[in-house]
Amino acid sequence: MAKGTLAKVMKYELRYLDGFPSFYEMQEAVWGLQRQTREILNKTLQMAFHWDYISREHFKETGAYLDVFTETGYKRFDGYIYECLKSDYSDIASKNLNATIQKAWKKYKNSKLDVLKGTMSLPSYRSDQPLTLSKDTVKLCGDSKDALVELTLFSKAYKTQHGLSANVRFAIPMHDGTQRSIYQNLMDGIYALGECQLVYDKKKWFLLVTYVFTPEQHMLDPDKILGVDMGEAYAIYASSVYGHGVLKIEGGEVTDYAKKLERRKWSYQKQARHCGEGRIGHGTRTRIHEVYQAEDRIANYRDTINHRYSKAVVDYAVKNGYGTIQMENLSGIKEDTGFPKRLQHWTYYDLQTKIENKAKEHGVRVVKIDPRCTSQRCSQCGHIDPGNRTTQAQFCCTSCGFRANADFNASQNISTKGIDKIIAKTLRAKSE
C-alpha cells in the first residue's frame, strides 16, 4: 500500500446469478474450496515452521543457517510452498492460492519468534475459513444501481473438467448510500480495489471488499476541538468552546429502537413457551422465523442509522475546520449502571467506531476522554456538583447560576482540551 493511503473494508451481501448449472452446485463447489483453504493455510504454517526448525538445528551444528535458494531453488520459502501445494490444490484459481498462502505466511512471520521460543504454540486455522481473493480475481461490473461482481474462484483446469465456461457472478443489493458510494468510487477508479474475501454467514454469501484511497485534505486546525456528547434526549449533541454553532440529532430513533428490541425479546420468549414438541428445535424455529427476520431488519436499520449519524458528525467537523473530535470513552457502557437502560441497548461503541473511521478518511483526529463528571461540571465556571443537573434535560450551576441545555453543557466540557485531567484535578482539590 502506497504511503499516505488508507485501506478499509466494506461488506456486501451477494445474490447468486450464474456460473454453475444451479445455485446448489455452486454452493457445494465453493464449500469445497473453503475446506481446501483451511488445509492450505495450516500446511503453509506447518511448512514454514518446519523450515525454520531444521534451519536453526543446522545452525547449531554448523554455525550457518540453511540457504533457501540452495535448498529449494527459490529466493523465498513462500515461493517454494506455492510450488509444493499448487498440484495438490489445483481446483483453486492460482492467484487466490497464492493470496491464501501469503495470508498464512504473514501470520506465521508475526508469531515466528514466540513460536520458536516455545512461548506460544503454532497458530492454526479452524473450519469454515473465508476464501481469500486476489484483487485480480474480483471484477466489479454494472453500476451502483445494478451492481454486479464476477469472481474467478476456480482454476482453468477445474472449469474445463466440469464444463464451466464462465466465472461465478453475483448481484450486489445496495442496503445504504455508503455501500453505493464506495462501489461507485471503485468503478470510477477513485478507490483502488485490494484483496477481498468471500464469506458464508447465516445462510448468506458476503463479499468483504478492501478499498484503498488517499484521505481527503482539508483546512483543519488540530487545536480546534469539537465535543460530541451522546445521550438519550439527543443521540448526538456536538458543540465547541472554539465556536458558537451546534449539531443536534434527536434521539427518538434510539429510544424507538430500544422499544422494538424489548418487544421482540418478549415476543421470542412468549412464542418459545408455546412451541410444539416435534423434532428438537424444529417447532421453535418455525414459529419464530418472523422474529429472527425482524431482528435482522432491526440490526440493518441500526447500522444504517449509525452510518448516517457518524457522517453528519464528521461532515460538520470538516465544514467548520475542526481538526479534532473529542468523545467520551463509552467502551464500558453496558457495565455502567449510571447510563439509562435504553442507552445500554444502543450500539454507541459501533457509532463511535464509525465516527473514528470516517474522521480518519478526512484527516480528523479522534480523542477519547474519561466520561467522569462531564455532565456534572459547569462549562462556564468549572464547578462540579451532581446537583447541577436539575433534570435530565436542564443544567443549572449551583455556584455561578449558569443555565443551559444539559447536553450542550456536556458537549462544551467534552470539547475542552485536557478536560479529563482538569476534572481529576478539581476532584482532588475538593477532597483535600
What does the DSSP 8-state code read for residue 389? B
Under a CB-based contact definition with an 8 Å cutoff, are residues 345 and 333 in contact? no
What are φ and ψ of residue 307, in 5° steps?
-60, -45
Other CB atoms within a 10 A radius of the CB of residue 184 amount to 17
CB 264 within 8 A of CB 294: yes
Amino acid at 71: E
| 61 is known as an active-site residue | no
Q: If you search the block for the grid coordinates 435504553, which residue do you land on?
A: 342
- Active site annotation includes 143: no
CB contact at 8 A, 11 and 206: yes
Catalytically annotated residue among 229, 232, 303, 420: 229
Q: Please give the order of strands across the beta sheet that includes 221-229.
A: 247-250, 234-239, 221-229, 322-328, 365-369
Pairwise CA distance, residues 414 & 309, whole Å:
18
Query: Of 78, 232, 328, 420, which residue is the catalytic one?
Result: 328
114 is catalytic: no
Cα 101-102-105 angle, rounded to 5 deg:
90
Catalytic residue among 91, 195, 407, 420: 407
The residue assigned the cell 453500476 is 143
3-state helix, strand, coil in the chain (%, to 5): 45, 20, 30
| Amino acid at the residue 411 | S
- Active site residues per annotation: 229, 328, 407
